[in-house]
């Protein structure tokens, strides 16, 4: 019979923010905290949040230049991010890039450029962003 531990919060003993878990294959161990996504968000062209984790608001700087603001800050601006955007009827390829001219990634927010095949910036019906790294 499977054992189930019911608990509201997990903390490390040596370091409150570090718990090690065993890999699926049993060949390695890895930090549980580092593997968890620290923020994710989906939003529309308004932009209005559809669903999110650790996102307090969106900033609409200009067409195709949304930014997502964190509730809890990241530890630094070196974290890893990925994103996608799309519009049901467009035939042009769409891209999410990380926007240096608007500060790109900071501990407080992430700014992106969403653009289509002509290199023109535009807002999309759906944009998603995923953030992995360390929280402050």
Q: How many CB atoms lie within 10 A of CB 83?
A: 19
Using CB under 8 A as the binding rule, the residues of this chain from 95 to 114 that contact other proteins are 95-101, 104-105, 112-113
17 binds other proteins (CB under 8 A): no
- Residue 8: φ, ψ to 5°: -90, -25
Q: How far is CA 80 from the centre of its chain?
A: 8
66 binds other proteins (CB under 8 A): no
Query: 75, 44 in Cβ contact below 8 A?
Result: no
Using the rule CB under 8 A, which residue among 52, 53, 134, 135 binds other proteins?
Answer: 134
44 binds other proteins (CB under 8 A): no
Of 55, 61, 49, 58, the C-alpha closest to 73 is 55
Least Å distance, CB 60 to other proteins, is 17
116 binds other proteins (CB under 8 A): yes
Those residues whose C-beta lies under 8 Å from the C-beta of residue 14, and which sit 6 or more positions away, are: none
34 binds other proteins (CB under 8 A): yes
Residues lying near other proteins in the complex (CB under 8 A) are found at 2-3, 5-14, 16, 18-32, 34-37, 76, 78-83, 93, 95-101, 104-105, 112-113, 115-119, 121, 130, 132-134
């Amino acid at each position: 019979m499977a054992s189930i531990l019911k608990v509201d919060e997990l903390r490390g003993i040596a370091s409150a923010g570090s718990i090690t878990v065993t890999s699926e294959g049993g060949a390695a161990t890895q930090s549980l905290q580092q593997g968890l996504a620290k923020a994710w968000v989906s939003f529309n062209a308004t932009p209005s949040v559809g669903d999110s984790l650790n996102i307090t608001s969106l900033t609409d700087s200009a067409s195709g230049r949304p930014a997502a603001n964190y509730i809890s800050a990241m530890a630094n601006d070196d974290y890893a991010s990925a994103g996608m955007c799309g519009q049901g009827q467009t035939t042009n390829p769409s891209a999410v890039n990380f926007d240096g001219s608007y500060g790109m990634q900071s501990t407080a927010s992430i700014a992106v450029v969403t653009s289509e095949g002509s290199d023109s910036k535009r807002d999309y019906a759906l944009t998603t962003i995923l953030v992995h790294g360390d929280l402050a």
